Amino acid sequence: MTKEKFPSPKGWLNIQACKIIYEAFRKNASTLGLEPPSYDFSTAYSETLEGILGSIELRARFTNQDVIEVATSYFVKIAKSQAFLDANKRMAVVLMGTYLIGNGYVLQVHPTKMIEIAVMLVKDRKTSIEKAIKILTPLFKRVVRKYEPKE
């Protein structure tokens, strides 16, 4: 069995995209069985979020990371940050999933399971962000598939 090679990212998350995704999640979270964020996007710490997004893009470009490595970085860094007043872990899951779909992939793990992973990640204060990304990337590469929109 050959190991699937994942492509370079087609695009990146930015503040404007995060705002749209956040507000859409806020309106529709309950349809997924999830609690919506309590606050609107204007309460987010935009400098923190912008720093996270920029650092991920910069590093990915210089180290030729593939789309799954970048998605994992978004997940880990957003989950562990305090870019939002609440819902950091939920937004890490939603932003990662949206990013993957935008790049042609979908994670085959239920959002509640991903939130459980995010909770464990945040509780684990011994594992660095970089080590968490190294551990999770190969796992996520096993549970993604090409995204095929339903017609």
Convert the pLDDT of each residue in 92-151 to its tens digit. Answer: 999 999 999 999 999 999 999 999 999 999 999 999 999 999 999 999 999 999 998 887
Strands of the chain, DSSP E: 105-107, 144-146
Please give the pLDDT value at position 2. 42
Q: Which helix (H) or strand (E) holds 56?
A: helix 46-63
State the pLDDT confidence band at 33, using cuts at 50, 70 and 90.
Answer: confident
Average pLDDT over residues 25-32: 93
CATH number of 15-146: 1.20.120.1870
* 0.75 exceeded by pTM: yes
- Is pLDDT at 27 greater than 90 in this prediction? yes
Q: What is the pLDDT of residue 3?
A: 57
Partners of residue 144 on adjacent β-strands:
107
Residue 39's contacts (CB-CB under 8 Å, 6 or more residues apart) are: 84, 85, 86
pLDDT of residue 150: 80
- Section 15-39 average pLDDT: 95
Note whether 27 and 36 are within 8 A (CB). Answer: yes
Indicate the average pLDDT of the chain: 94
Beta bridge partners of 105: 146
Averaged pLDDT, 79-97? 96
